[in-house]
Structure 1
């Protein structure tokens, strides 16, 4: 018991067992891969035996969704160009895009008190701790541990996760905290008079430097204002499909520092020459 406590303290405070943990993860990766073979084969057989009618229906649905997304992408491209022009006028840095990497879920954490998953990309693919993870709909969580071939992702609904967000309608900033339930986020720091209502969309604010700004997070589903209490009870439902998504996106934010024209650079002022004093100063 004393040895276990000592190892936990060394791991938590000084990170002395990080190398050992990464080595053990590499050694156990083949066992994990073999354990996933039956489920992967079952999924492959199901997809192979799928009827032609279902495939045609799915293909038609994907074509319609692709057409809608391409139409929305045209509007986003115009808005992004306008945003960059406005930022350039203000002399501030502007975002030119985000680099992403597609990964797949390889395991679920069996701890009932933690909500985290394991993905099949690690440090060999450039994944790093604190990296933002999304699915096709919204933010899922962030990377908390990285090994050479896998990484652990802490979901936004975990009780130890807090995410800076803002209300898209009015820009109100707050913190979304995990509740331990897969379909529930809490906003515990909003006063009773805060301008927030049901169906408001929450997006990442970009504060803290972990998540790029502007990505959807959740939608408000409950607002209770109780007299006599300083804060309202606000509940939001995550937009990401945390309990059924298999493919995720790892995001790198790319920014460019502001470029100022040469004429805006303040002129260099030459120092004023001081008269020579031939007399020695007293110590």
Structure 2
């Protein structure tokens, strides 16, 4: 009898732990608001630790910038002023072209493009894990940064927000093994899914039909079909084409156009392209055409070439008259 009594406390502890585990799993599935608050608080704590760890590097950078000669700083300022003037001159054409384009879309019963706003953010920490390459930025929920939002730099797509806290956010890089997005391949008309690999700055896309004639140097741009990344943003350039003649398919390797090894400042697209404001009147409601957004497509089953329909990014905010019914959905896998 003593033998069984000696094991009763262990069984009691086990039952308590099992019940506690079931309770926590139930809360996680139910998505309780206070559980989300706890998760956000923990994220804020980890972001704070990341800031402290990365602080010496930031101080070193600031010190080196302070010690630069005044002549070099003047040269940089002049170069930036000239570049800013050139960009402003080019943007004046974009405003007019975007207006004309939306008018043509209306005449053809198409959909006007809503240009997302951008938020400047600074990198404060890096986590270089092949399966999930991420970095932390100094913008969070207070600034309107939410999970799933795209992140870009001056060249193209960097990745998308994985999670956000009150004061910071973690960004999943486009070359992470767990990242994928829908892209259009050059002017071939092919649309498929490009994925990250376990190699630095290397993306891959498999089983592209030979008839699309993909070449080295072709630019991959966001297709907009996933409802998360706006259409027309540069993603990568094809660096290698591997033929599979026996199966009439090719596999490609591409290098991101963004310089992922030298990230200091990024832009977060805070307004999703498929979420225009609701109509204000019954007449506007009647004029709205609801078009279901296409999600990630299975490139292995494509039988007909798709017509390319991507546009370069614009910086104006045109009026929106039609909506897509798709919801935001991050691609982190």
Q: Work out whether the TM-score is over 0.5.
A: yes
Indicate the residue corresponding to 1:278 in structure 2: none
> What is the alpha-carbon distance in structure 1 between the residues aligned to residue 232 and residue 279 of structure 2?
20
Indicate the residue corresponding to 2:237 in structure 1: 219
Report the alpha carbon displacement of residue 178 of structure 1 after superposing the two structures with TM. Answer: 0.5
- Relative to structure 1, the CA distance from residue 167 to residue 30 in structure 2 (aligned partners, 3 Å threshold; closer, same or farther) is closer
Residue pairs, 1:1-283, within 5 angstroms: 10=25, 14=29, 18-251=36-269, 252-254=271-273, 255=276
> What is the alpha-carbon distance in structure 2 between the residues aligned to residue 71 and residue 224 of structure 1?
42
**2:47 touches 2:136 (CA, 8 Å); kept in 1?**
no
The structure having more radius of gyration, on CA atoms, is 1
> What is the alpha-carbon distance in structure 1 between the residues aligned to residue 238 and residue 203 of structure 2?
9
Give the SS at the match of 1:187.
strand
> What is the alpha-carbon distance in structure 2 between the residues aligned to residue 30 and residue 132 of structure 1?
23
Give the SS at the match of 1:220.
strand
TM-score scaled by length of structure 1: 0.80
**1:94 touches 1:256 (CA, 8 Å); kept in 2?**
no
Give the SS at the match of 1:253.
coil
Give the SS at the match of 2:178.
coil
**1:92 touches 1:258 (CA, 8 Å); kept in 2?**
no
**2:130 touches 2:177 (CA, 8 Å); kept in 1?**
no
> What is the alpha-carbon distance in structure 2 between the residues aligned to residue 160 and residue 53 of structure 1?
45
Greater helix fraction, Structure 1 or Structure 2: 2
Report the alpha carbon displacement of residue 18 of structure 1 after superposing the two structures with TM. Answer: 4.4
Structure 2 runs not aligned, ≥5 long: 1-13, 288-333
* Relative contact order, higher structure (CA 8 A, sep 6+): 2
- Relative to structure 1, the CA distance from residue 171 to residue 226 in structure 2 (aligned partners, 3 Å threshold; closer, same or farther) is closer
Structure 1 runs not aligned, ≥5 long: 267-283
Report the alpha carbon displacement of residue 256 of structure 1 after superposing the two structures with TM. Answer: 6.5
Report Cα offsets for 1:85-112 as digits up to 9, x if no partner: 1111123331242211111111111534
Select between 207-216 and 225-234 the one with higher mean Cα deviation: 225-234
Give the SS at the match of 1:193.
helix
When the two structures are aligned, how many residues end up with a matched partner? 259
> What is the alpha-carbon distance in structure 2 between the residues aligned to residue 96 and residue 112 of structure 1?
34
- Relative to structure 1, the CA distance from residue 180 to residue 115 in structure 2 (aligned partners, 3 Å threshold; closer, same or farther) is same
- Relative to structure 1, the CA distance from residue 112 to residue 172 in structure 2 (aligned partners, 3 Å threshold; closer, same or farther) is closer
> What is the alpha-carbon distance in structure 1 between the residues aligned to residue 211 and residue 188 of structure 2?
14
Report the alpha carbon displacement of residue 75 of structure 1 after superposing the two structures with TM. Answer: 3.4
Report the alpha carbon displacement of residue 134 of structure 1 after superposing the two structures with TM. Answer: 0.7
- Relative to structure 1, the CA distance from residue 171 to residue 199 in structure 2 (aligned partners, 3 Å threshold; closer, same or farther) is same
**1:114 touches 1:180 (CA, 8 Å); kept in 2?**
no
